[in-house]
Structure 1
Amino acid sequence: MLGLLKRRSSSGFSPSSTAEEVTAGIDGSGLVAIVTGASHGIGAETCRVLALRGAHVVMSVRNLLSGASVREDILRKVPTAKVEVMEIDLSSMSYVRKFVVNFNALNLQLNILIYNRFSAHGQSKLANILHSSELSNHMKGAATVCYLALHPRVAGVTGKYFIDFDDVGLKYPATDKELAKRLWDFSGSLIP
């Protein structure tokens, strides 16, 4: 079992690599990142490491008090961090619209969007993959997320699915561009 944790991927990192290790030496200054699920766990760690590397982080949270606590912790560890906390409930379109209005009021150019919700499985996971693929046509943990957000080796890579820093090479139906487009269009039709 220990051998699996030490195995290096093609990126040069292993499953036991930390978010700080995989982003060491990377300057995220000038980048703006929105991270959902940012008030705990992987989301909070992702925010901390992105802020540590200089990115302006917008924490999107359901609970503003929890988000504020994480923000304070980040600022204690990284006093120069640029971190905002904004409320969102992704199950409510009115909250999503309010979040968009509030984010736009910040006059920031969004560079990185990290949808940090790992509870989806099955067809909803396929929907996430297809949406990611189509999103690129339109505009496991914190280590892999931060690697993908900041590392120059994957700059410009979109619409892929990664495990332990490696592109896992999606299979049909996750590679079906027509299905991705139809899902994108259908989802858009649900938004008033």
Structure 2
Amino acid sequence: MTATLITTPFGEFSTADEVAEGVDLTGRRAVVTGASSGIGVETARTLASHGAQVTLAVRNTATGEDVAADIRVGAPDARVDVRPLELGDRSSIAAFVDAWEGPLDLLVNNAGVMALPELTLVDGLEAQFATNHLGHFALATGLRRALAAADGARVVSVSSSAHLRCPVLFDDPSFAFVPYDPFLAYGQSKTANVLFAVEGTRRWADDGIAVNALMPGGISTGLQRHVDMEALLAARRSAGASDVLKTTEQGASTSVLLAASPLVEGISGRYFEDCHEATVITNRSESDGRHGVAPFALDPDNAARLWTFSESLLGRG
């Protein structure tokens, strides 16, 4: 961390297209996970419309093909392809990695599941941690050579202010002893997304790979299908936050900033919100529930421990 936070001319309600204005991504190759809905669609659309060759890595390829067709309507020259990827299935991740050829310039780890109402296990792990963190960890580390082969690759890890709710529970990540709570589990996975950026920065610096994390903001998408939105908005208001939600175009702006903007060239290991680097807070009461980053999410010791732990969960340690 540095004393001076990174700021940009953009803000909470800037759109992805505004952030990417004037950016030429011709010749760049990008992968966006979860690009068949929500902010993933708008992230992919913006990158493709600015010249990038974009792979939509999605669970439902039929829906992905519909999105690709829609992107081409708005940008006839867009180069978009669709490939299957199930982040909760290690064989699916391995197949995606094995099929990838050539350099990869931009990897946007966008897909996720949120606030599953009941404890669900994937390979013995809590499903949100297994999907949101470990699946993306396996994907990114599997694609490391492709990222290193690019000239200044960027990896974007979509986290959430929900990370403020829970650090990584190294001794009980699957809630075998700690009573399961949907938002604690979600928060743990989102903390892991930030820690991945911190340790990825340290390990991959010599490869010229930048890794950053972000909070996209409050957006109503299919991600919240297990969430009572009225209750969530009420909680936001009680914390002093506005109940105005972003559009998906606005929600994708910080992802696009970190993936494509020259304003953050060379920046790595940071956590952004509303197109700016977030302030570190020491207590959750200092936040309105949407802003700020917890020290435990940027702690280098936690980050190194999580990386080693994740490798062992994948059978690599």
**Counterpart residue number, 2:198:** 133
The question of whether the paired residues in 2 share the 8 Å contact of 1:160 and 1:169 is answered with no
Alpha-carbon shift at residue 117 of structure 1 (Å): 3.2
The question of whether the paired residues in 2 share the 8 Å contact of 1:59 and 1:84 is answered with yes
**Counterpart residue number, 1:155:** 265
Alignment partner for residue 253 of structure 2, among 143, 152, 159? 143
Task: Give the greater-gyration-radius structure (CA).
Answer: 2
SS at match of 1:174: helix
SS at match of 2:296: coil
Deviations along 1:154-181, one digit per CA (max 9) or x if unpaired, are: 0122221111011114442122212211
The question of whether the paired residues in 1 share the 8 Å contact of 2:270 and 2:277 is answered with yes
SS at match of 2:103: coil
TM-score, L = length of structure 1: 0.88
The question of whether the paired residues in 1 share the 8 Å contact of 2:11 and 2:276 is answered with no
- State the identity as a percent: 41
SS at match of 1:157: coil
Deviations along 1:50-98, one digit per CA (max 9) or x if unpaired, are: 0011111111000000000001111121111111111011011011001
Alpha-carbon shift at residue 134 of structure 1 (Å): 1.2
Q: Does residue 1:184 correspond to 2:307, yes or no?
A: yes
Q: Does residue 1:69 correspond to 2:76, yes or no?
A: no
Alignment partner for residue 108 of structure 1, among 102, 107, 113? 102
Letter in 2 for 1:157: I
The question of whether the paired residues in 1 share the 8 Å contact of 2:12 and 2:274 is answered with yes
The within-5 A match list for 1:73-84 is: 73-84=70-81
Letter in 1 for 2:109: Y
CA distance in structure 1 between the partners assigned to 2:202 and 2:79 by the alignment: 29
**Counterpart residue number, 1:3:** none
Alpha-carbon shift at residue 133 of structure 1 (Å): 1.2
Q: Does residue 1:92 correspond to 2:89, yes or no?
A: yes
SS at match of 1:173: helix
Alpha-carbon shift at residue 37 of structure 1 (Å): 0.6
* Cα 1:44/1:182, change in 2 over 3 Å: same
Letter in 1 for 2:311: G
SS at match of 1:86: strand
Deviations along 1:108-139, one digit per CA (max 9) or x if unpaired, are: 31111111135363222111110111122333
Letter in 2 for 1:183: L
Structure 1 residue runs of 4 or more that deviate by more than 6 Å after TM superposition: none
Unmatched tracts of structure 1, length 5 or more: 1-8
The question of whether the paired residues in 2 share the 8 Å contact of 1:32 and 1:109 is answered with yes
Letter in 2 for 1:166: H
Count of aligned positions: 181
* Cα 1:137/1:111, change in 2 over 3 Å: farther
The question of whether the paired residues in 1 share the 8 Å contact of 2:13 and 2:274 is answered with no
Letter in 1 for 2:110: N
Q: Does residue 1:37 correspond to 2:37, yes or no?
A: no
CA distance in structure 2 between the partners assigned to 1:138 and 1:87 by the alignment: 28
